[in-house]
């Protein structure tokens, strides 16, 4: 069965084309245009921001925006150096802080739409901690993880032969797949896939934060604090959408020498 599925994925990649993830060079399936998913993301982001509430703490809000812009510029520099600036077409960067002292979270939608929740700031601890999270979340958008997950979801839901028609005739289902693709839903069948993306975003984020002038060695320290917060209550790795804290920290430490080549104090 695994061989059959792998052959199908290979055939789809050959028929519809595949994209290449910056930094890691991994090939990924691409059945959705960036303009389509960026438009959906912008609409969804607007609704989230309207609901908010946005933080009224001016100092914290300005810090989120400051770090966001520095990571944005680092990404633009990296993509420019690699001749990949065209992949940022349609990005309309936004960085906002949502007042929520219970939700330890941050995310970046396709197109550069970033949201931090105030509950994650004590774990970030300082500007470098924010850069760790910002680099990681922005990396998801640069790697087009949402587009890749949506492509996989469309195949699973509609099948290869009816994808085009289904997207036009069943917008509700398409929207649901989009929400799952950007992490607003849970799908146990995609957990391994999601862990792979989390690890890739860790790797890319380390490069971006280093180019933005933040010490990449602060990344493992952030995840050590996160591990302490969880108190060992993290679910087993095979049931988690994220790598275990131990796996994550070990991987980050392994990528630090590479990231230090980009580090600009």
Token code pair at residue 229: 């917060």
pLDDT digits (tens, 9 = 90+) for 157-205: 655 544 554 555 555 555 555 555 555 544 444 445 578 889 999 999 9
pLDDT value of position 220: 96
Top pLDDT among 187 and 233 is at 233
Q: How confident is the model at residue 237 (pLDDT cuts 50, 70, 90)?
A: very low
pLDDT value of position 232: 56
The whole-model pTM stands at 0.81
Is the model's pLDDT at 69 over the cut of 80?
yes
pLDDT digits (tens, 9 = 90+) for 99-141: 999 989 999 999 999 999 999 999 999 999 999 999 999 999 9
Q: How confident is the model at residue 229 (pLDDT cuts 50, 70, 90)?
A: confident
Is the model's pLDDT at 249 over the cut of 70?
yes
Top pLDDT among 21 and 231 is at 21
Top pLDDT among 150 and 107 is at 107
pLDDT digits (tens, 9 = 90+) for 139-149: 999 998 888 88
């Amino acid at each position: 069965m695994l061989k059959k599925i792998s052959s199908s994925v290979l055939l789809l990649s050959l028929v519809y084309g595949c994209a290449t993830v910056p930094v890691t060079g991994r090939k990924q399936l691409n059945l959705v245009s960036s303009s389509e998913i960026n438009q959906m993301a912008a609409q969804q982001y607007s609704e989230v921001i309207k609901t908010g509430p946005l933080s009224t703490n001016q100092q914290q809000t300005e810090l989120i925006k400051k770090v966001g812009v520095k990571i944005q510029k680092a990404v633009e520099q990296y993509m420019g150096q690699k001749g990949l600036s065209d992949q940022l077409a349609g990005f309309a960067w936004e960085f906002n802080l949502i007042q929520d002292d219970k939700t330890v979270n941050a995310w970046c939608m396709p197109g550069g739409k970033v949201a931090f929740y105030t509950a994650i700031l004590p774990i970030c601890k300082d500007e470098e901690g924010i850069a760790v999270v910002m680099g990681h979340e922005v990396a998801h958008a640069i790697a087009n993880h949402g587009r890749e997950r949506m492509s996989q979801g469309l195949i699973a839901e509609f099948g290869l032969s009816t994808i085009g028609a289904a997207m036009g005739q069943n917008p509700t289902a398409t929207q649901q797949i989009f929400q799952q693709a950007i992490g607003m839903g849970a799908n146990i069948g995609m957990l391994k896939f999601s862990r792979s993306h989390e690890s890739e975003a860790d790797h890319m984020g380390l490069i971006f934060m280093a180019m933005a002038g933040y010490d990449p060695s602060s990344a493992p320290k952030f995840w050590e604090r996160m591990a302490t917060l969880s108190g060992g209550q993290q679910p087993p790795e095979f049931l988690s959408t994220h790598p275990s804290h131990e796996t994550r920290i070990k991987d980050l430490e392994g990528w630090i020498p590479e990231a230090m080549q980009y580090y600009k104090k």
